[in-house]
Structure 1
Amino acid sequence: MDAQHLEQDYCSVPEPAAVDNALNQTEDLRKEVDRLRRQVEELSVSQRFCLGRFAASDDDVRFYTRFVTYSHLMAFWKLIEPASHNMIHVSRARARATTIRSEAGTTGSAWSLQPIDEFFLFMVHLSVGLTQRDLAHRFNIHQSTVSRIITTWANFLYTVLGSVRIWMSEEEVKAHLPNEFQDYPDTQVVIDCTELRCQTPSSLLLQSEVFSTYKSHCTFKGLIGMAPHGAITFVSSLYAGSVSDKELFKQSGIVSLLKPGMAIMVDKGFLVDDCVPCKVYRPAYLSKREQMSADEVRETQSIARLRVHVERLIRRVKQHKLFDTVIPLSITGSINQLYTVACLLVNYQNGPLVKAWAKD
Structure 2
Amino acid sequence: MIQTKPGKQRKLTMKEEFVKTMLKLRLGVDNTTLSVLFNVSIGYVSNLFSTWINFLAQILDPVIKWPDASTWSNYKSHNTFKALVAIQPNGAFTFVSKFWSGNVSDRKITVDSKYIDLISPGDEVMADRGFQIRDLLTLKGAYLNMPPFTNERRNGRGRVLTSKQIIESRKIASLRIHVERAIRRLKSFNMLGGILPLKMKNLSSAMLRVAAAFCNLMPPLSKKFK
* Separation in structure 2 between the aligned mates of residue 297 and residue 216 of structure 1, nearest angstrom: 37
Q: Does 1:229 align with 2:93?
A: no
SS in 2 for 1:274: helix
- Pairwise CA RMSD of aligned residues? 2.2
Match of 1:113 in 2: 12
* TM-score for both structures, normalised by structure 2: 0.86
1:142 aligns with 2:41: yes
Which TM-score applies when normalising by structure 1?
0.55
Change (3 A) 1:288 1:275: farther
Higher relative contact order at CA 8 Å, sep ≥6: structure 1 or structure 2?
A: 2
User: Residues 64 and 213 of structure 2 are in contact (CA less than 8 Å); yes or no, is this contact kept in structure 1?
Assistant: no
The letter for the 1-side match of 2:205 is: N
The whole-number CA distance in structure 2 between the counterparts of 1:345 and 1:252 is 22
Q: Judge conservation of contact 2:151–2:160 (CA < 8 Å) in 1.
A: no
| Deviation larger for 123-132 or 276-285 | 276-285
Q: Is the 8 A contact 2:64 2:216 kept in 1?
A: no
Q: Is the 8 A contact 1:109 1:115 kept in 2?
A: no
Q: Which residue of 1 aligns with 2:119?
A: 258
Distance 2:58 2:121 in 1: 31
1-structure distance, mates of 2:100, 2:27:
24
More helix by share: 1
Equivalent position of 1:357 in the other structure: 224
**Alpha carbons 1:111, 1:145 under 8 Å: kept:** no
Q: Distance in 2 between matches of 1:169 and 1:250?
A: 20
Amino acid at match of 1:357: K
Give 3-state SS (helix, strand or coil) of 2:167's partner. Answer: helix
- The 2-side partners of 1:133 and 1:156 are apart by 23
Deviation at residue 157 of structure 1 after TM alignment? 0.7
Residue matched to 1:65: none
Q: Which position in structure 2 is the counterpart of 1:158? A: 57
Contact 2:152–2:160 under 8 Å retained in 1: no
Measure how far apart 1:221 and its partner are: 0.2
List gaps (5 residues or longer) in structure 1.
Answer: 1-105, 171-187, 192-211
| CA displacement at 1:325 relative to structure 2 | 2.1
Cα offset, 1:218, TM superposition: 2.5
- Identity within the alignment, %: 33
Count of paired positions: 213
Distance 1:227 1:139 in 2: 39
The answer for the alignment partner of 2:190 in structure 1 is 321
Once the two structures are TM-superposed, the CA of residue 153 in structure 1 deviates from its matched residue by 0.4
